[in-house]
Structure 1
Amino acid sequence: MSMGYPIAIFDIGAPVERVQLYDKGLIIKYGETPEKILNNLLNFMLNELKIKPTATTRGKVLFVAEEISFASRYRVEHFQETLLKQGICSDYIQMDEVKNYDFNGYNSIVLYRCSNVNIVNEIVKESERLSIPVYYDIDDFIFDYDKIDYLEFLQNKEYSQFRIKTEQIHQCMEMCKGYMTSTNTLAAEIMREFPNKKVVIKRNVASIAMQILSNDAWKNANNNNDRIWIGYFSGSITHNKDFAQIECILKDILERYPQVYLKLGGVIQENGLGDYRNRIEKVGFTEWKNLPNMIANVAINLMPLEDTCFHSCKSENKWMEAALVHVPSVMSYNVELEKVIVSGKTGFLCANKEEWYTSLKMLIEDENLRRSVGDAAFQRVMERYTTNYPDTEAVKMVLGELKER
């Protein structure tokens, strides 16, 4: 209700009284037949809410990924939700399900970060026989190893075969008709590498589930005014050097403000904050459904990034996730985030250590500023970063309605 969504409940339990006073609420008599319940819902939708039902007949899209992950959730499952709201059906399979799969009836096939060259080749051959376009969705600059070989995390043992992986991804991309990606910077790199093919920017957005969980987390957050928590929720070891950019600043902040505490999520390695270990809480990897609660219980969210093209290709996910729970973010400036964030209003972009320190200082000392920036970021996310946003170009692409370049 606090998010403005329609709601229908049975006439039992405590929520009934609240829903009766809600202009988008419907009370259903417990024990009614399924047919009568459905009729009540349809009448409520058509006559009270004035919502016209959307028939899922506009088209059908097949998504293929090598594995289901937190990233595929943003790129595939959330896009499926966007499509469904516009009357477009879709299916989602993994690479090991492709063999003997019937591609008939699909408007297009979208491959997400696939690197199995042989299977992709078979998909493309069959789709060409059926006149179905195949597109490639990618959200990291991982198709040209020579342009990213300077990255420190690539020296780790687990990335010893990453050059081969990037070459395989490149081969798969070459076979596709066009591309979807998450940022302007990455789109420009794709266009340089694959000229004369269509590239569409489809920014990551929040699903209905994310919005509901975030709203609950925000309402139930523990606002302990005695402590001001600063949070950094990085995830993987690829962000260790990002965090190193601001370690000395955080040390100065912890020194100056005894009420400030630090929460670090994921497997981040901090090396220069040992003197303040009693004010640092570390939490491991967590399921995405738990993340809103973690972020909602900090006062300031951090998003440091190295100043490289690879990092400018990354999306604003961490800002969006914090904005959903009204938490302001302090971020490294880059050309991509400059297009997204209004510094000082929907977040703070910092080009040097002085700006990082000043931004943190202002937010620590001014609770009203924290609230206003967090609220403004939330409003921006609700306007642009949910599955309600139509993503017209991406939708046209998967329906085969985009003109060729």
Structure 2
Amino acid sequence: MTYPEAIDWLFSTQMFGIKLGLEGPRNLLKEYLAFPKRGVKVIHVAGTNGKGSTCAMIDSVARAAGLRTGLFTSPHLVDYRERIQVSGQQIPEDGCAAMLTQLRGICEGLETHPTFFEITLALAMRWFSERECELIVLETGMGGRLDATTAVPADVCVVTPIGLDHTQWLGDTLELIAAEKAGIFIEGATAVSSPQEPAARFVLEKEANECRCPLTFVREPLLGYSIALAGPHQAWNAALALAALDAAAVPLSFDTVQYGLSHVKWPGRFERFPADCRPEIILDGAHNPHAAKVLAETWQQVFGDKKATLLFSAVSSKDISGILSLLTPLAGRILLCPVDTLRAVPTSELAAALPEGAMATEYATFDEALEASLAFNEPVLVAGSLFLVGEAKARLEGGEFQSSTQ
């Protein structure tokens, strides 16, 4: 298959939906010889918020330490290949097409067809193996206990802050969600966690003890270093990233850590697009109340009391009213538009979720909303969905947006 043909086939597998369980991904990893080689360290990251930033920091600092790294994250913002990187470089189109061609043949011979996410994981793990990565960083797709990434044996298990998200899959209490996240703990590994709410911490400690996986919690943010990612919460993510690398026995010096943290990149998280001839545009994928609270704190740290033109959208199953209650105080005006995905929420429903007394203007497309937002003097904040942020980033950078439901 050519690269476009391979991507078309892969995205067509999203019709198989989401299947939580480990038997399928284990079978596919085995068939495709994609399990990590002996001696390769694997750091597995779960949590509700901050997973991507923490993974990016682990990867960046490890590269600064001289290691060849493999980084697996999801979802992508613009280009599918963002999900699979070796030492900061996306998998090339020809390599991606060749491997997807091989995987298609394997998938068609299996009794149960693998999902989009399972295929992507197998592709990533085989690519990391062929590129002889020394350290692999895996971000869970959702949850932990039954997430496909848990089929890969880990040396270090990492848990970022836990909050309420994906409640239809993981449960509607912190205790239930924490139990799913703790499902990545395995005997023989070491676990590190961000500070957690008492209910979540209790569950993590219980689960870690039961599976004989030593667990420690980060106690303070990392200070004294320049971190390229904006927001006070990133000092906590950085502390967690260093704790994970320490647990993986990666030798670090002050200069190594400083270089890695000052050069880390994680698009779509308070990503700024300044310009002389238009208002500054800030992209942030905050899509649950905890992330919206962190975004509001970061906005106030950077812009103070300056108001934003908020360009907002969201997908189904999210706590839209909870997100908007935290972002509306930042906004001088609010513009609503649908996001380019099958899970899009109509703008009328977005408007109904606004806090009492708040007003918004509805637009039929993102392009119309973006054009309207640039007519004002305030900085434009695009938030509420990673899918929306991906579409915005593609427009601003001239890329082709590869819309996805997973």
> Normalising to structure 2: TM-score of the pair?
0.29
> Normalising to structure 1: TM-score of the pair?
0.29
Q: Which has the higher contact order (CA 8 A, sep 6+)?
A: 2
Larger Rg: 1
